[in-house]
């Protein structure tokens, strides 16, 4: 068998021919594998379209023939390999990479002949989860179209709404519940969409605590904005009847950003369901910055890419993106009691990134192997929320530092709020599922995830 690779797009990465050398160390029949250089013409990398095949029709981008595969990385070399493949658009990593945890990858079925044996040789336990991702997307699109054609008005909890639909709904809620809710734009995107923030608080109480909650930083994670909308609806529509909503809103100001990435989210509805980044031109004919790699605390210190075409492209500089600047401008100068950012998927409740925090300690006070101050308290507060979530549908969340549970990723918003704004209770919450169809979930999941998350956040806020 002959497999040939070229150089990676980014100079910082592991040369792909070294990947085969790693495999050779584990291979008892290494004579069958030959790394050939220079690269034969038939294996030279072409355009991104050639490397990651898809079909573009008059409507949305299609992913016919793309498979969804689970692998389990457990060594540093495994993570480098996956990140290198992603940088070159050979694979699309769906969930966050975790040590000894399933990482789900999408790639075209034409690559299974060499990619699956490579993962096998590296003992990464590859398993095909879906033989054709497009079938999942077609089913989701069919559901949305059936709902649209039915003529039956769909509530905020019944379907995945577009950016424009959510904007209309937010304005209606702010008008209907004007004594509780205030809607404002905290910034404009590259494509001139508003980044909406809805502040909700009760008519009673004083000296209230402040919580900031954002959703939809990654465009394709549709369950995130839907969950944010569910929570807003629950707080506003049940406040008058007393109980939990009134108890929270009379003691808290809740600042909701339902869609932090409006351009990317709109594009995921209109053009490409699997789009992740924002939509600002990034160079090299590519678009978008991964907003959750663009924040300023320990920017570009690991787990992000300098390749403009990569899904984890961190941007030209820290806080370069309008969306990150909007949070910075709004949050700076205010006293926040907690910051919560909602992603999907995995069912994780992440505290601060310990790896980045240790870098900070090393820079300022010298290296320490101890947990950061108050780390036990951070986990204890998170456990209150996770336990309450589990009490609803039995779904468990794993609690811990993202650097302990996952591979390091710098430039995240929760690390920025903790490191630069000193918001102690800063968390990233990865919503369901843990695997399965990943981002493609049924509309019925909105109420299920929305309600259990609402219960969990209420319990967490009471515990602070």
Does a structural domain hold residue 251? yes
Does a structural domain hold residue 286? yes
- 95-133: burial string, b at 16+ Cβ within 10 Å, e else: bbbbbebbbbbbbbeebbeebbbbbebbebebeebbeeb
Say yes or no: 400 and 454 in one domain. Answer: yes
Mean pLDDT of the chain: 84
Does a structural domain hold residue 317? yes
User: Using one digit for the tens of pLDDT, what is the confidence trace for 356-365?
Assistant: 454 444 433 3
Q: Let me know the angle formed at the C-alpha of 114 by 314 and 25, rounded to the nearest 5 degrees.
A: 85
Active site annotation includes 430: yes
Say yes or no: 108 and 184 in one domain. Answer: no
The string of DSSP letters for 347-363 reads: -EEEE--HHHHHHHHHH
DSSP state for residue 40 in the 8-state scheme: P
Q: Where are the beta strands (DSSP E) in 76-222?
A: 92-93, 103-108, 127-130, 181-188, 194-201, 209-215
**pLDDT of 40 strictly over 50:** no
**Tally of structural domains, the chain:** 2
Say yes or no: 286 and 418 in one domain. Answer: yes
CATH at 105: 3.30.70.340
**Domain boundary residue, one of 148, 177, 193:** 148
What pLDDT was estimated at residue 325? Answer: 98
Say yes or no: 439 and 315 in one domain. Answer: yes
Catalytic residue among 86, 140, 430, 452: 430
**Domain boundary residue, one of 126, 148, 170:** 148
Say yes or no: 143 and 176 in one domain. Answer: no
Per-residue pLDDT band for 257 (boundaries 50, 70, 90) equals: very high
**pLDDT of 10 strictly over 70:** no
CA distances (Å), 306 to each of 101, 277, 400, in order? 26, 14, 28
Does a structural domain hold residue 273? yes
Does a structural domain hold residue 215? yes
- Spatial neighbors of 336 by CB under 8 A, at least 6 apart, are 210, 211, 212, 417, 421, 423
User: Using one digit for the tens of pLDDT, what is the confidence trace for 43-92?
Assistant: 323 334 434 455 544 578 999 999 999 999 988 889 889 988 988 889 99
Does a structural domain hold residue 2? no
Widest CA span in the chain: 76
Say yes or no: 143 and 164 in one domain. Answer: no
Say yes or no: 139 and 169 in one domain. Answer: no
**Domain boundary residue, one of 148, 170, 199:** 148
Say yes or no: 101 and 246 in one domain. Answer: no
**CB neighbours (10 Å) of residue 436?**
14
What pLDDT was estimated at residue 365? Answer: 31
CA 15 to chain centre: 27
Does a structural domain hold residue 26? no
Does a structural domain hold residue 7? no
Say yes or no: 395 and 270 in one domain. Answer: yes
Say yes or no: 115 and 237 in one domain. Answer: no
Say yes or no: 98 and 131 in one domain. Answer: yes
User: Using one digit for the tens of pLDDT, what is the confidence trace for 373-411?
Assistant: 677 899 999 999 999 999 999 999 998 776 566 656 788
CATH at 439: 3.40.630.10
Range with lowest mean pLDDT among 188-202, 302-316, 318-332, 347-361: 347-361
What pLDDT was estimated at residue 410? Answer: 82
Say yes or no: 88 and 230 in one domain. Answer: no
- Distance between CA atoms of residues 152 and 286, nearest Å: 39
What pLDDT was estimated at residue 435? Answer: 79
Question: By residue range, what is the domain housing residue 131?
Answer: 61-148
What pLDDT was estimated at residue 304? Answer: 81
Is the torsion defined by CA of 212, 252, 188, 219 positive or negative? positive
What pLDDT was estimated at residue 373? Answer: 61
């Amino acid at each position: 068998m002959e497999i040939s690779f070229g150089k990676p797009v980014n100079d910082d990465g592991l040369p792909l021919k070294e990947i085969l050398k790693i495999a050779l160390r584990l291979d008892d029949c290494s004579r069958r594998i030959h790394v050939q250089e220079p690269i034969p013409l038939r294996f030279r990398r072409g355009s991104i379209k050639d490397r990651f095949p898809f079909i573009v029709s008059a409507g949305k981008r299609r992913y016919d023939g793309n498979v969804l595969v689970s692998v389990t990385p457990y060594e540093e070399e495994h993570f480098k390999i996956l990140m290198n493949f992603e940088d070159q658009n050979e694979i699309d990593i769906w969930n966050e990479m975790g040590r000894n945890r399933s990482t789900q990858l999408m790639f075209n079925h034409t690559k299974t002949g060499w990619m699956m044996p490579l993962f096998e040789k590296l003992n990464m336990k590859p398993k095909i989860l879906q033989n054709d991702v497009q079938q999942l997307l077609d089913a989701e699109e069919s559901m949305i179209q059936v709902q649209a054609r039915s003529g039956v008005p769909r509530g905020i909890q019944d379907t995945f709404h577009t950016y424009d639909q959510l904007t209309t709904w937010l304005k209606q809620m702010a008008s209907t519940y004007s004594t509780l809710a205030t809607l404002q734009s905290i910034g404009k995107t590259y494509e001139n969409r508003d980044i909406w923030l809805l502040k909700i608080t009760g008519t009673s109480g004083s000296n209230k605590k402040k919580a900031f909650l954002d959703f939809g930083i990654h465009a394709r994670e549709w369950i995130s904005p839907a969950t944010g909308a569910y929570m807003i609806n629950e707080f506003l529509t049940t406040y008058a009847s007393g109980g939990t909503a009134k108890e929270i809103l009379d003691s808290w100001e809740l600042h909701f950003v339902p869609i932090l990435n409006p351009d990317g989210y709109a594009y995921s509805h209109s053009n490409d369901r699997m789009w992740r980044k924002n939509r600002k031109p990034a160079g090299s004919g590519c678009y978008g910055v991964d907003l959750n790699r663009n924040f300023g605390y320990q920017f570009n210190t690991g787990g992000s890419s300098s390749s403009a075409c990569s899904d984890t492209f961190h941007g030209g500089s820290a806080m370069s993106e309008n969306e990150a600047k909007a949070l910075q401008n709004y949050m700076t100068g205010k006293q926040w009691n907690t910051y919560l950012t909602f992603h999907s998927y995995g069912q994780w409740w992440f505290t601060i990134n310990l790896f980045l925090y240790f870098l900070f300690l090393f820079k300022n006070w010298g290296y320490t192997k101890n947990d950061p101050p108050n780390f036990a308290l951070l986990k204890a507060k998170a456990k209150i929320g996770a336990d309450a979530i589990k009490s609803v549908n039995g779904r468990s969340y794993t609690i811990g530092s993202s650097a302990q549970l996952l591979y390091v990723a710098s430039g995240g918003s929760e690390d920025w709020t903790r490191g630069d704004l000193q918001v102690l209770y800063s968390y990233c919450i990865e919503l369901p599922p843990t695997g399965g169809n990943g981002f493609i979930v049924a509309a019925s999941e909105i109420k299920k995830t929305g309600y259990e998350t609402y219960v969990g956040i209420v319990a967490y806020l009471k515990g602070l």
